[in-house]
A and B are shown apart, each in its own frame.
Chain A
């Protein structure tokens, strides 16, 4: 929405600088995105006040040496008229005319202008010259030369009352405010609507209300005018339809001032009739449509054309103004005549009944359509128009008649037409005006500042609400009547907003929350997730966050031996951006593996984790489960590359990841248990199921070579895991007690036992620990040996044992007794033998 300041000033004084006005409007919710200056300081081409002025063309003399040139004699307030050589077509046509009083834009030597004949907009300095032997040192300007448009063929004709000798910037300079209006507010899509806001914000009176046009031009309003038959078949979509008749118009260009305003507002001038409909729409916010009256057909047996507003019949068709054949569905509203569709209601007119140069009589439509219907039709047809934008934001139904009359009168004035004495108007959707009780105490309760009574009344009144005291209570209660242009205001709080924004949020003092503090609760889930993040970062892993929307084929790659996951058991988007973002993930691993691969292009070691939800549909439940998962993937050398000779360059493997898991669980105060696990994505011999305190967390392992290949990952182990974080969060946070630290010295001892290869190490450890308790405090495996010394199918496990008591120093005899017990159980229960014992 673009509003020229000069137009705004028709309705309200603007006594503040433009930037200040723009800021004030922006703060009040009418965001001024840009201010474009025309001719004024700040413009791309400011018009020099002493060199670019309003001139008066007095005579057009023939050029002595050229047929295609004339000499224009221009009065401009200087000591004598200036004669300039010009080839402007409309001046050539006036060759030989004298005693003229035509106002033009006149530039003197030294003025900076856009070069009318150069491509684009290039600034040039006007120099004295001689054209075909006649000196010329000034210029009658075209629109392009002043920067209005790229029109450079002919000159600008200013209105007759333009004051000769006045700087053009003063007379024609302007600033255009471009608004970004948020919210469905049709009342802000008009110059007058903006003026009403300005008046309220600056506490100034409004003038020249275009809606009051009938006061000076009374007309009769009738549902049955003699020029048309009106019928609304679907009043739910068309609350009101008004129509005026203007006969005997002459189609031609609209006057300069109107073209200028349309251009500045962002619309292209077309012809006087079309321009007037656009002009009044911009002015008041009421879209209008002009039909060529003689193209409208009567219904059979009737003597005058008919307008019937009805829903389209299935697959009904019509060609719109833009030349496109449109097909409608039965929820789209059409304007039809006796023969068929003539316009898409509120969106665009039909080509058939369009105004042409031959048009003489006009039927002017000024109607109101249901905003949702217009939005729907506009969206489905892919057709946006200025009209649809306004109707789609709930246009004011009370505007139809004033806007029709205003436009009809302009057509009479500017196109030589005659306005029919009555206006047709059917209004089945008339709504009673809405009244809201506003309690002053509620204004204060919501806003937090005490806004004076008189300010509330003033602000609401300026916005055309009618405010009356509802009682003599104190603080007061107001009975507020909502004007027809504010269908968005339905509750007291809507009025509170009007008061707040106009009074000015910049006047609101910031306060701290004074209200009661709500009960504070522990947040185990968040605290646990954050602790997990910190622990993993401490283990040297990098956190990543990937997309929830994935390619289901990627999840299938985790099952190299098949079967692929069943797509029907996934949540799938109806409108995906692309095929690889169509499904909601059920595992974190594919994205982690992709991330791994991407980063391996730049570094040899990558260790990453993600905490995020997966989305699991649940039978009989509308919403899916969204459990949080923890995923880890790591590959590359054990340590980052370095010059140091003792760095661990071997590839990391299962045990590196297991170390991370052990550290993680220890950091959470949990003890993990690992047993052989199975998962299609993992190496069958290098996969473990992990549980903590008896609850399964998930699997860890090295990727199955086929999975590694499927994800295009290089040779070498890729260790990965996926845990159900929900289980960890449930386990975490249980009360923990510290273990006292013994003051008595520990006794250290090594124990190496030979067991069968198949015996899981953890069983040996557990047996040792269990048997040695309570004096045996720690069992640390420090060597695993296989080889000749112990024979095939055997392994030696060497542990460092630490014995300690809380209340005494242990004697050798005590330790020996425990050790004996351990050895005996190992021998008996595991067939273990003591090595080197």
Chain B
């Protein structure tokens, strides 16, 4: 009997070593340790032994059972590890294959640029005010200190709808609209929008483009505030290291009038084709709101003052992203729009 047990143990352990899968392991367990397994069969046969033999054989059988169980556990762990290793190996991917495409949409570059501009001015307390595209001659010119026949009207090539109606050539008529709506409150708004000019479409000019006008009206608004506001914008939008230059200029609806330049972001002021070798790039036309315009908006120019500025939208984006053709903006070629 003892020999039989010894043989069993030897067989079982040898057999166990050959087991490679959890299923084989189950089968092994059944064969040796299961309810109908070899060891159980031997243990069941204990009753046939003499009482003298029984304890020794029983003890031996239990020892073997313990040893086989321990060995089985160890083997189970080993088989699990091996199986996991095999599974992991089988699950290996070519990580260099492309990912599953996610259909990400893109905002138009004009929208993105407008949002950058909004964000900067919002922090300074300016709110967005939107006005209309189709305007009257009076709003676009007359109330902005350009009565009929004023020579400065020639600064804008205008699309006319009737003798009275036109497509706004600039966002400035919004100044009158917002002033008339808000008077007598102080005002701090930016006026974004589409503008139109009778210009042949070329790489440098479009008949439709966006502008952002700024307007601040209050009892203590000064030229230095305007310069500070434009400086803050230029540094935020074009980079903290930019230098700003303020030049005197002429617009019929501001007095005094200025233009703001930054040192050229392409050549850092040394002079290049883009800045026409001047080292400077114009970024805004601006000025103190003309007393006639303030009065047309309902504000007494002796008590109120204000500043206004006009920014391009496409032009700054062109500078920032080295875009050399303005037609790309409204041709809506997705190969272009997807780059932003």
Contact = CB atoms under 8 A, between A and B. Distances in A.
Contact of A446 (B188, B223, B246): B223
Nearest to A493: B255
B55 to A, nearest CB: 57
B334 A603 contact: yes
A545 interface: yes
A540 B103 contact: yes
A820 interface: no
Contacts of B31: none
Contacts of B332: 544-546, 595, 598-599, 608
Given A543-B106, A643-B97, A516 B219 contact: yes
A491 interface: yes
A518 B329 contact: no
Contacts of A511: 222, 224-225, 227-228
A607 interface: yes
- Residue from the set B151, B198, B200, B201 with the largest chain A CB neighbour count within 10 Å: B151
By size class, the interface of chain B is 35 or more
A517 B188 contact: yes
- Residue from the set B164, B225, B331 with the largest chain A CB neighbour count within 10 Å: B225
Contacts of B329: 545
Contacts of B76: none
A615 B248 CA distance: 38
Contacts of A581: 207
Contacts of B335: 602
B185 interface: yes
A606 B290 CA distance: 48
Interface stretch (A297-305, A336-344, A569-577, A790-798): A569-577
B222 A602 contact: no
A688 interface: no
Interface stretch (B8-16, B22-30, B62-70, B155-163): B155-163
Interface stretch (B36-44, B79-87, B129-137): B129-137
Contacts of A599: 332-334
Nearest to A526: B128
B305 to A, nearest CB: 6
A493 B256 contact: yes
Nearest to A26: B247
B198 to A, nearest CB: 6
A515 B246 contact: no
A362 to B, nearest CB: 32
Interface string B104-125: 1111101100010000000011
A606 B227 CA distance: 45
A595 B160 CA distance: 27
Given A510-B231, A515-B219, A372 B149 contact: yes
- Residue from the set A506, A513, A520, A644 with the largest chain B CB neighbour count within 10 Å: A513
B265 interface: no
B106 A575 contact: no
A695 B323 CA distance: 43
A520 B159 contact: no
A537 B305 contact: no
Interface string A538-561: 111111111111000000000000
A575 B160 contact: yes
B174 interface: no
Given A509-B224, A515-B219, A642-B100, A626 B132 contact: yes
A623 B132 contact: yes
Nearest to A520: B127
Contact of B222 (A448, A542, A598): A448
Contacts of A128: none
Contacts of A500: 223, 248, 256
B288 interface: yes
A514 B220 contact: yes
Interface string A518-545: 1111010110001001001111111111
A155 B160 CA distance: 56
Contacts of B132: 623, 626
A26 B250 CA distance: 12
A12 to B, nearest CB: 19
A382 interface: no
B196 interface: yes
Contacts of A523: 127-128
Contacts of B149: 372, 376
Contacts of A29: 247-250
A182 interface: yes
Interface string B168-190: 00000000000000100111100
Contacts of B100: 642, 644, 647
Interface string B31-73: 0000000000000000000000000000000000000000000
A393 interface: yes
B111 A543 contact: yes
B91 interface: no
Given A518-B188, A548-B194, A581-B207, A494 B200 contact: no
Contacts of B198: 575, 577
A118 to B, nearest CB: 28
Contacts of A27: 245-248
Nearest to B250: A183
Given A372-B151, A577-B201, A546 B330 contact: yes
A496 interface: yes
A715 to B, nearest CB: 21
Contacts of A182: 249-250
B290 A623 contact: no
Interface string A602-637: 110011100001010000001110100000000000
Contacts of B334: 542, 599, 602-603, 606, 608
20 contacts: A28-B248, A183-B249, A448-B222, A505-B248, A508-B223, A510-B224, A510-B244, A511-B225, A513-B221, A514-B225, A515-B219, A533-B111, A537-B106, A548-B133, A575-B198, A577-B200, A584-B134, A599-B334, A615-B134, A626-B132
Given A182-B250, A506-B245, A515-B186, 18 more contacts: A185-B250, A449-B224, A491-B255, A501-B256, A509-B224, A513-B188, A517-B188, A523-B127, A542-B337, A542-B338, A543-B106, A545-B111, A571-B134, A573-B159, A577-B198, A577-B207, A598-B332, A626-B132
Interface of A: 26-29, 31, 182-185, 371-372, 375-376, 392-393, 445-449, 491, 493-494, 496-497, 500-501, 505-506, 508-521, 523, 525-526, 530, 533, 536-549, 571-577, 581, 584, 595, 598-599, 602-603, 606-608, 613, 615, 622-624, 626, 639-644, 647
List the 10 closest A-B pairs by CB distance, nearest first: A448-B222, A540-B103, A183-B250, A29-B248, A448-B224, A497-B256, A515-B218, A510-B228, A501-B248, A537-B105
